[in-house]
Amino acid sequence: MLRSWAADDATRVLGRPTAHDDKYSRGVVGLRTGSRQFPGAAVLGVEGAWRTGIGMVRYLGPARPTRLVLARRPETVTAGGRVQAWVIGSGTSSADRTDAETRMLREVLDGPDPVVVDAGALDLAASATAPVVITPHAGEHAKLRFALGLDPDGARSAAGAAETAVALGSVVLLKGATTIVASPEGWECAIEAPTSWLATAGTGDVLAGILGAVTAGAVARRASVSLAACAATAAWLHGQAAQTASEAVAGGPITALDVAEHLPVVVGRLLAGPHTTPMLIES
């Protein structure tokens, strides 16, 4: 049986800012996401990152998504500079990717900083030398497994996620009603979605932004938590924000932006109160 992830586990991964912090010590996450065809993915990922509680978000993307990001979140920095984690691929397609963009993504994947690899960048994950966590849904996972020479029929299972993690040497966050996180070292856990309203367009983009922010924050604090623990915490926050958003409308339907907007409530409550669930970060 897979271990679960709960409030105490997430609390150990997140950090509360102190009077000694500045925007850099709280963490800086960089995003190369969105495209002319899917500009909203950039907005949702940036929103998810900011709402999780990060010191700075850098967005480096095409012109139209950049305009939309700044219209929604004018505090976003659209110039290059230091980061502690990257998010790439959300709202992009490998079929439409230019050679120049491929080179830039490979530079990120060959760098020292952890990288959240989503959607249109998943095909590049196998050649990465940076610490990587991939965030496929079942269909993307099946395609990736086929490219790795693995049986695509294992794309929906925890065993399949674990096998992919070993083959890639990267953490796998397999999205679904039950999200599976698996590391190459054999660490695995499951996070149950608390509401089925989470199954709606754009929520994966928000999740990628959350994960980038959680990871950058942990790196900035030099916290001794694994990338797998960051992934599980992001999935837990994502689900709790979705449930909180749905509860705000009497248990009704929500959108991806609703999930992002309710993250501060979840993070605030998490860091404010004691929890009694056993801690399960170590592999």
**What are the 10-residue block averages of pLDDT along the chain, 283 residues in total?**
92 94 97 97 98 98 97 98 98 96 97 98 98 98 97 96 98 98 97 97 98 98 95 98 98 98 97 56 34
- Residue 276: helix, strand or coil by DSSP? coil
The CATH-assigned architecture of domain 3-272 is: 3-Layer(aba) Sandwich (3.40)
Residue tagged 């996401």 (tokens): 33
Cα end-to-end distance, the chain, whole Å = 15
| Dihedrals phi, psi of 189, to nearest 5 degrees | -155, 165
Beta strands in the chain (DSSP E): 3-4, 28-32, 56-59, 85-88, 115-117, 132-134, 171-174, 178-182, 188-192
Instruction: Dump the DSSP string for 25-90.
Output: TT-EEEEE---SS-THHHHHHHHHHHHHH-SEEEE---HHHHHHHHHH-TT-B-S----SEEEE-T
Q: What is the pTM of this model?
A: 0.95
36-49 b/e (C-beta count within 10 Å ≥ 16 → b): eebbbbbbbbbbbb
pLDDT of residue 278: 34
Phi-psi region of 170 (alpha: psi -120 to 50; beta: other; left: phi over 0): beta
Q: Residue 171 is encoded by which pair of tokens?
A: 């953490």
Residue 32 to residue 13: CA distance in whole angstroms: 24
pLDDT of residue 274: 66
Residue 251 to residue 178: CA distance in whole angstroms: 20
pLDDT of residue 273: 75
